[in-house]
A = this chain, B = another copy of it.
């Protein structure tokens, strides 16, 4: 297995050669959704980014164990340690058991992921299913002296930790600055320092999600689940931890502190962060009220959307930007992605029909190498896609007899296009689209024949067509703009 892969490590702030600790095995953990609402475009980006990483690592021969969690407890409203549990609140408002809320939105998240052709992770653990592991980890942190208990809650002692370790190693934040930041949020008064964070919170009487623990009936802090589940399924040290840049601080910074405190080891070798999707330059997020759900994208169901966009168009749109760049949403960009995707698929469909020649006019081996070079350079999908469009150009030129290709080169081109488009980028020909296109085309032919029959006053034929279409519930209308047809439901 040749491996020239380099990845940008947030920890070192530079690209590093990718050398997993125990090849050919790779352990990868990615922060998944907090399931109290529908996923929006912002959620699609980490899912697709790390799906690309997962697919590419497998493609170049690694055996990847990919863990992506579901947060179903402990994520409080203010992302700090105060306010109501996000899922508990939704459950209270809708008069449901919290796990009904979790199930509902987890199912819908899975529907979205499947539509986006995002592969299932190897393991998808839920925070509420790993309370024991979290309690054990808190016990270890307490024993190591990096946490303290107040009134049944346990907090991580950031100041003490920072004496011998670096709280800020990942985010570059400086503890002094964090200490002076004023915080007036409820529940903060138990902390020794404002930078401390909860490992275990005692549940208020009205709090529904609660478990017994050595300290109180309560629930784990939000940062803890990822440390506990990462350790449980990937070991105390693993290769890759991914997530959105918005999770870098305090979530990932705190994960490192927890693992170092509990296991005396840095948990992760490579930290990878995808950048954000913006809307007119503004961050998109449920709490900001400007997030369009994926279901709305697929249905074209939002006043900012000029049309529906298919899941694979959205996927292609996201892959057309490097994961560390910001990506701004616009109808124009999505429409361009849709057009590009159709062009790519159309070229792929003609690959099997190209004539071969004695000589190739393009360097196909070089093209293939450039595709891999792009992906090996920190998963640079836009550069790889540009190369694939060079492939599209060659395919169309050969088809139009403007270029030639040898038998061997055609095989290489085919393999490159198919490997990258389907296996690595995870694009696909959308089935419904395909059938619908065929139906459109066949109807086009029939309407031309209808027109011809009318012009030549061949009423037997035009009546035959009318009757056949009526039987199929197809309504044909002659309008000023031409003939329109529709399928009555």
Interface string of A82-105 (1 = CB under 8 A from B): 000000000000000101101110
CA A444 to CA B129, docked complex, whole Å: 56
| A124 at the binding interface (Cβ < 8 Å) | yes
CB-defined contacts of A469 to chain B, threshold 8 Å: 445
Do A103 and B129 touch across chains, with their CB atoms under 8 A apart?
Answer: no
From known contacts A442-B446, A472-B438, infer whether A103 and B132 are also in contact, taking CB-CB under 8 Å.
Answer: no
Query: Provided the pairs A129-B130, A212-B136 are in contact, do residues A99 and B233 lie with their beta carbons within 8 angstroms?
Result: yes
| CB < 8 Å neighbour of A439 from B103, B212, B432, B439 | B439
Judge whether B103 and A123 touch: CB under 8 Å.
yes
Closest residue of chain B to A444 (Cβ to Cβ) is B468
Contacts of A449 in B (CB 8 A): 446, 449, 461, 464-465
Tell yes or no: A269 within 8 A of B by CB: no
* A121–B97 CA distance with the chains assembled, in angstroms: 13
Pick the most buried of A99, A439, A469: most chain B CB atoms within 10 A of its CB: A99
Q: Are B446 and A439 in contact (CB under 8 A)?
A: no
Which one of B99, B121, B132 contacts A211 once the chains associate, using CB atoms below 8 Å? B132
The residue of chain B having its C-beta at the shortest distance from the C-beta of A465 within the complex is B445
Q: Which of A101-135 contact B (CB under 8 A)?
A: 102-104, 107, 110, 120-126, 128-132
A65 touches B436 (CB 8 A): no
State how many angstroms separate the Cβ of A209 from the closest Cβ of chain B.
11
Report A64 CB to chain B, min CB distance, Å.
11
CB distance from A185 to the nearest CB of B (A): 29
Partner of A123, one of B97, B123, B132, B431: B97
Contact B128 A107 (CB under 8 A): no
With a cutoff of 8 Å between Cβ atoms, the chain B residues found around residue A431 in the complex are 432
B103, B130, B439, B452: the one contacting A124 at CB < 8 Å is B103
- Measured between beta carbons, the chain B residues less than 8 angstroms from A464 are 445, 448-449, 452
Query: Using Cβ atoms and an 8 Å threshold, which residues of chain B touch A121?
Result: 103
* CB closest residue in chain B, given A110: B110
| Structural contact, B472 and A441, CB atoms closer than 8 A | yes
A280 within 8 A of B: no
In the bound complex, CA of A452 to CA of B458 (Å): 11
Contact of A442 among B123, B128, B443, B461 (CB under 8 A): B443
Closest-by-CB residue of B relative to A350 is B473
A486 interface hit (Cβ, 8 Å): no
- Cross-chain contact of A435 among B122, B435, B445, B452 (Cβ < 8 A): B435
Note all chain B residues with C-beta closer than 8 A to A448.
464, 468
* Residues of B contacting A436 in the complex (Cβ-Cβ under 8 angstroms): 435
Q: How far is B100's CA from A121's CA once the two chains are assembled, in angstroms?
A: 9
Min CB distance A32 to B, Å, is 13
For the complex, give the distance between the alpha carbons of A396 and B128 in Å.
Answer: 55
Q: How far is the CA of A121 from the CA of B445 in the complex (A)?
A: 47
Q: Are B443 and A132 in contact (CB under 8 A)?
A: no
A446 touches which one: B104, B212, B233, B446 (CB < 8 A)? B446
- Given A97-B233, A128-B129, A132-B212: A445 and B468 within 8 A (CB)? yes
Closest-CB distance, A105 to chain B (whole angstroms):
11
Cβ-closest 9 pairs across A and B: A129-B129, A435-B435, A442-B442, A445-B468, A99-B123, A107-B120, A100-B122, A103-B123, A441-B472
Beyond contacts A103-B122, A435-B436, A438-B439: 16 other A-B pairs, Cβ-Cβ < 8 A, are: A65-B100, A100-B122, A102-B123, A103-B120, A104-B120, A129-B130, A131-B132, A442-B442, A442-B443, A442-B446, A444-B468, A445-B446, A445-B464, A446-B446, A446-B449, A449-B461
- A and B contact pairs by CB, cutoff 8 A, 29 listed: A97-B122, A97-B233, A99-B125, A99-B233, A100-B122, A103-B120, A110-B110, A126-B126, A128-B129, A132-B212, A136-B212, A431-B432, A435-B435, A435-B436, A438-B439, A438-B472, A438-B487, A439-B439, A439-B442, A441-B471, A441-B472, A442-B442, A445-B468, A445-B469, A446-B449, A448-B464, A448-B468, A449-B461, A449-B465
